[in-house]
Amino acid sequence: MVRRNISLARQAAQEILKGIASGKLVRGNGLLPSEAELSQKFTVSRATIREALSQLEQRGAVTRRHGVGTFATPPAPRIDTGLEELKSLETLARGIGLETRMSEPTIEGRRATAAEAECLQAPPDTSVLSVARVILTGTRPIAYLVDVVPTTILRRQDLDKNFRGSILDLFLQRRELTLSHSRTEILIESADAIIARKLRLKRGAPLHKLVAQLFTRDGQIIDYSTSYFVPGYFSFHVIRRVGNSG
């Protein structure tokens, strides 16, 4: 079982997930074996098993009840989406029947940083509106989204009580904006202290990260966004056509 390129706790977590998926570790009521039993089964310490279960709890794969035990969590709806067509998180969630809500957004009018201005292809010190918010399903945070938009495109008063978290959906309602495409960089990143706190994860937990520039048909970049997604709730893929070898 031991593979030195990843931690023992992560390996144990993977083995527990396999046991849950196969049904071999799950009793009739969803209860998993005790830490001592799992430690013996996978020949690792109880501390390693405890850390593995903590990782799985953060991902929503198990639920731990003090004094009772650890239970396999019924699988939640999972957003499995291709990135060829640009859709908002709210639209994707609604498509699979996953109810989401937005936490109180942090809205800040300020000058763009040098990096933001470069990504927006805008002059230095461009006035921007930064909109940061956590998206939850039930009480569980599943994504943290930050959009930086020039104030010539988006003003604070544009975010009324009907705003549900999607800047894209807001733009799609505006006829004067002719959107073309998004250039998106796809990354895997470890949660830093700030992101981990917002998503209620341990620091260093792996996240899907999408960094995107939204273009209009005339080539203007009107939004620079950074989005962090909890892996247990999202799966991204890209459909690629086979090119001609000749």
- Residue 106: CATH number of its domain: 3.40.1410.10
Residue 155 inside a domain? The answer is yes
**Residues 183 and 129 occupy one common structural domain:** yes
Instruction: List the CATH number of the domain containing 39.
Output: 1.10.10.10
Tokens matching residue 79: 């957003």
Examine residue 244 and state whether it is found in any structural domain, yes or no: no
The whole-number average pLDDT for the span 82-111 is: 86
Q: Mean pLDDT, to the nearest integer, of 157-177? A: 89
One domain for residues 57 and 89:
no
Task: Mark which of 72, 100, 121 sits at the end of a domain.
Answer: 72
Measured CA to CA, the distance from residue 51 to residue 41 in angstroms comes to: 16
CA distance 58 to 89: 21
Residue 242 within a domain: no
Question: What is the Rg, in whole angstroms, of the alpha carbon atoms belonging to the chain?
Answer: 21
Secondary structure (DSSP) of 158-220? GS-TT--S-HHHHHHT-TT--EEEEEEEEEEEE--HHHHHHTT--TT-EEEEEEEEEEETTS-
Residues 63 and 121 in one domain: no
Q: Are 124 and 179 found together in one domain?
A: yes
Are residue 21 and residue 111 in the same domain, yes or no? no
Which of 49, 72, 95 is the endpoint of a domain? 72
Most confident of 54-63, 78-87, 136-145: 136-145
Q: Are residues 16 and 98 in the same domain?
A: no
Q: Is the pLDDT of residue 1 over 50?
A: no
Residue 36 belongs to what domain range?
8-72
- Does residue 84 lie within any of the structural domains? yes
Q: How many domains does the chain have?
A: 2
Considering the domain architecture, whether residues 124 and 207 belong to the same structural domain is answered as yes
Mean pLDDT of the chain, nearest integer? 88
Q: Is residue 35 part of a domain?
A: yes
| Crossing angle of helices 8-22 and 46-58, rounded to 10° | 70
Distance, CA of 123 to CA of 137 (rounded, Å):
38
- Say if 246 falls within a structural domain: no
Q: What is the pLDDT of residue 126?
A: 96
Residue 3 forms part of a structural domain: no
Show which of 72, 102, 126 is a domain's final residue: 72
Q: Tell me: the pLDDT tens digits for 198-232? A: 999 888 888 999 999 999 999 999 999 999 999 87
Alpha helices per DSSP H over the chain: 8-22, 35-42, 46-58, 89-95, 114-119, 167-172, 193-198
| CA distance linking residue 81 with residue 237, whole number of Å | 6
Same-domain pairing of 42 and 88: no
User: Do 25 and 124 have their domain in common?
Assistant: no
For residue 135, give the nearest of 86, 199, 201 by alpha carbon: 199
Beta-carbon contacts of 180 under 8 Å, excluding residues fewer than 6 positions away, are: 215, 216, 217, 219
Same domain, residue pair 181 and 220: yes
What are the two backbone dihedrals, phi and then psi, of residue 196, each rounded to the nearest 5 degrees?
A: -60, -40
Taking 60 as the threshold, does the pLDDT of residue 195 lie above it? yes
Residue 153: pLDDT over 90: yes
- State the greatest distance between any 2 C-alpha atoms of the chain, in Å, as a whole number: 66
Residues 6+ apart with CB under 8 A from 162: none
Written as six digits, the tokens of 166 are 């999607």
Long-range contact list for 126-129, CB < 8 A, 24+ apart? 126/150, 127/151, 127/152, 129/154, 129/155, 129/156
Whether residue 178 is found in the same domain as residue 228: yes
**Does 87 fall in a domain?**
yes
Same-domain status, 58 and 117: no
User: What is the residue whose two structure tokens read 């939850």?
Assistant: 136
Supply the pTM of this predicted model.
Answer: 0.71
